[in-house]
Amino acid sequence: MVISRDVAALSKLLNQQGNGKTNSTPSADKSVSKFNNYLSELIGNKDNISLDSSAMTTLSKDQLILFTKALQIQMNARLYNTVFNNSLESNALASKVMQDYGARISHHRSDTSKNNQQTPKNNLSGHDPHINQIVDQAAQKFDVDADLIRSVIKTESNFNASATSPRGAMGLMQLMPETARELGVQNAYDPRENVMGGTRYLKMLLTRYDGQVDLALAAYNWGMGNVEKKPDKLPAETIGYIEKVNSYYKSAKA
């Protein structure tokens, strides 16, 4: 496929809108849909594209606007499917999810600043040397930052190996009974079993979300199913959890 032919075909397609308005109308939407299909075909044959600037067609302002609109739809779809692994279908929802999440994080940070809440002090070192050793071993085994593991432990249990939450979460990394069973943890109050199991789970989440720590932490706190089904409805508790872990982590790196 040669790019000059593609531009000629594209120009012909866009000329259908040459005398029309660029606002969203059934006709415009139909043309955008046609162009989406055309662009997908063009991208699919990108290895056969060669540039021939002498044969390229000059597009009008209206044609460029339509071109940009269709291209944005394609880019949004590809970005959304990459981030959410095709778990949802609506590009409009994707935009809403990202905007809502960003707005809520910003709002939470603003409230934190207004309340003069300070970043938690670095209390991640100086705990039981045995626990620190286990954390270092888990970090090496599962390739997870040791300070991130300690930040999660600090937030979850404050390094209390016998901690039990009202919901039944257990031990240093507050593993729920079902999660502990799935991870092969027989005694969630045993520091080694708990940290190894919790770090393994954290690594699974980091891998699933392409290393995006905030998403992994959201899933660790609220549950992977909840995050993927309702990514635009993160509860305040989960947003606060993400902020707290990040605060400890940044403090540890300072």
Nearest-angstrom CA–CA distance, 139 and 200: 9
Answer yes or no: is 134 within a domain: yes
Answer yes or no: is 187 within a domain: yes
In the 8-state DSSP scheme, what is residue 58?
P
Spatial neighbors of 236 by CB under 8 A, at least 6 apart, are 108
The pLDDT value given to residue 128: 87
The pLDDT value given to residue 9: 47
Range of the domain at 19: 3-84
User: Terminus-to-terminus CA distance in the chain, angstroms?
Assistant: 54
Answer yes or no: is 153 within a domain: yes
193 is catalytic: no
Q: Which of 65, 90, 62 is nearest to 76 (CA)?
A: 90
Answer yes or no: is 213 within a domain: yes
Indicate the burial class of 149 (C-beta count within 10 angstroms; 0-12, 13-18, 19 or more): buried
Q: Does 246 lie in the same domain as 166? A: yes
Answer yes or no: is 102 within a domain: no
Q: Does 175 lie in the same domain as 78? A: no
- The DSSP secondary structure of 117-135, one letter per residue, reads PPPPP--SSSS-HHHHHHH
Q: Does 69 lie in the same domain as 156? A: no
Q: Does 237 lie in the same domain as 157? A: yes
b/e code 46-80 from CB counts within 10 Å (16+ = b): eeeeeeeeeeeeebeebbebbbebbeebbeebeeb
Domain count, the chain: 2
Q: Does 146 lie in the same domain as 57? A: no
Answer yes or no: is 154 within a domain: yes
175 pairs with which residues across the strands? Answer: 170
Answer yes or no: is 45 within a domain: yes
Nearest-angstrom CA–CA distance, 18 and 244: 54
Q: What is the pLDDT of residues 127-186, one digit of tens each?
A: 789 999 999 999 999 999 999 999 999 999 999 999 999 999 999 999 999 999 999 999
Q: Does 137 lie in the same domain as 68? A: no
Answer yes or no: is 173 within a domain: yes
Residue segments in the chain with a per-residue pLDDT below the cut of 70 = 1-63, 66-67, 69-123, 125-126
The pLDDT value given to residue 32: 52
The CATH number for 178's domain is 1.10.530.10
- Of all helices (H) and strands (E), which one includes residue 72? helix 61-84
Torsion sign (Cα): 26, 28, 31, 33: negative
Looking up tokens 């990459």, which residue turns up?
82
Domain boundary among 56, 84, 112: 84
Annotated active-site residue in 156, 182, 228, 243? 156
The pLDDT value given to residue 161: 97
Tally of CB atoms within 10 A around 174: 24
Spatial neighbors of 148 by CB under 8 A, at least 6 apart, are 202, 213, 245, 249
Angle subtended at Cα 174 by Cα 169 and Cα 179, rounded to the nearest 5 degrees: 70
Q: Does 218 lie in the same domain as 151? A: yes
Looking up tokens 């071109």, which residue turns up?
67
Domain boundary among 61, 84, 107: 84
Q: Does 76 lie in the same domain as 179? A: no
Domain boundary among 15, 49, 84: 84
Q: Does 73 lie in the same domain as 135? A: no
